[in-house]
Amino acid sequence: MKRENQSSTSKFLLLGLPIQPEQQGVFFALFLGMYLTTVLGNLLIILLIRLDARLHTPMYFFLSNLAFTDVSFSSVTIPKMLMNMHTQQQSILYVECISQMYFFILFGCFDNFLLAVMAYDRYVAICQPLHYTTVMRQELCISLVAVSWFFCCIHALLHTLLLVQLSFCAENTIPNFFCDLPSLLKMSCSDISINELVIFTEGGMLFILPLSIILGSYVHIGTIILRVPSTKRLFKAFSTCGSHLFVVSLYYGTLAGAYFFSSLWDSNDKYIVASVIYAVVTPMLNPFIYSLRNRDIKQALEIFLNRANFLK
């Protein structure tokens, strides 16, 4: 196979979605609508939290960060996919591809850390309610977000620097609608043992640690509730944690389907579908999950709409 190093590989070809040419217009409109829903829905959540003083609490501080991350996460992949569908061009420059992969890893990692921080916040709120304001003080909340950003930046930078050292074969078609790390590694003609080792050690640790915090937090919450079971406490815990649990299940379920069990798919189309759910659908659903089940967000939205009507 012809061998090309990273400096001579000027572009890659994105295979895109497994759809027929005559269906391009329909899917373009569909994904454009999903992207606009993601951006507007998450920005609305950020705006409501910013404007309503009652939402200036740790839980909503983390939720606003999650909304910002979802907007950024979607913006890494969807605009390029839409442009390729509109122009019928599948190429992406090498620099753009590496940049897209870096930010995809960055925001995906930050999503992972944020879900763990939000689980810890719910644990303190339910298991230590009298100490909640002293434990989840503003300094700690900002520190948790800052530390998450730091580790995720290092994580994404590490995998990016290791990738750019590789050489790529003449076959430069990526079997996805964006530049993802597994696909790029499969295209390399170099020895990728170090890359795989880092993925399974450092990447595995950054995946398992937040997941362990989430599971540990909810195990403690469940233990506390079951000690003195009551309908009121169960309803309060479910109303407090239900939205977060649903988002966690959706995030880790689609992540596992797209990457950890991708080798079990009998076709690449199923892998792409799992990637679409993880990268496109999940960020779009988060605003609906938190707003439809959250009384505070609903009230803030009503106040916001009433103010808008009053100004008119």
In a domain, 61, yes or no: yes
Q: How confident is the model at residue 74 (pLDDT cuts 50, 70, 90)?
A: very high
Mean pLDDT of 285-299: 78
Whether 220 is covered by a domain: the verdict is yes
Given this model, what pLDDT does residue 266 score? Answer: 55
Which residues make Cβ contacts (< 8 Å) with residue 251, sequence separation at least 6?
111, 112, 115, 278, 282
User: What values do phi and psi take at 81, rounded to 5?
Assistant: -60, -45
In a domain, 273, yes or no: yes
Mean confidence (pLDDT) of the chain: 85
Most confident of 57-71, 83-97, 198-212: 57-71
Cα 229 to Cα 213: distance, rounded to the nearest angstrom: 24
Q: What pLDDT, on a 0 to 100 scale, did the predictor assign at position 87?
A: 86
Angle at Cα 7 formed by Cα 6 and Cα 9, nearest 5°?
Answer: 65
pLDDT tens-digit readout, 232-267: 667 666 666 777 788 888 888 777 766 666 555 555
Q: Per-residue pLDDT tens for 100-137?
A: 999 999 999 999 999 999 999 989 988 888 899 999 99
- Count Cβ neighbours within 10 Å for each residue of 199-220 and write b for 16 or more, e otherwise: beeebeebbeebbebbeebbee
Rounded CA-CA distance 293/58 in Å is 18
pLDDT at residue 25 above 70? yes
Domain at 97, CATH number:
1.20.1070.10
Identify the CA nearest to 95 among candidates 11, 216, 5, 180. Answer: 11
Question: What was the pLDDT predicted at 262?
Answer: 56
Is 310 inside a domain boundary?
no
pLDDT for 16 beyond 50: yes
The residues pairing with 220 across neighbouring beta strands, listed in sequence order, are none
- Is residue 303 in a domain? no
Q: With respect to residue 6, please indicate whether it lies within any of the assigned structural domains.
A: no
Residue 134 one-letter amino acid: T
Amino acid at 71: V
Cα dihedral sign for 100, 103, 108, 111? negative
Q: Please report whether residue 38 resides in a domain.
A: yes
Does residue 304 lie within any of the structural domains? no
Q: How many domains does the chain have?
A: 1
**Does position 285 have pLDDT exceeding 90, yes or no?**
no
pLDDT of amino acid 1:
43
Q: Is residue 273's pLDDT more than 60?
A: yes
User: What is the structure's pLDDT at 6?
Assistant: 44
Which stretches within the chain are classed as H helix? 24-51, 58-87, 94-127, 132-135, 138-163, 181-187, 193-198, 204-227, 231-255, 268-276, 282-292, 295-311
Q: Domain residues for 169? A: 11-296
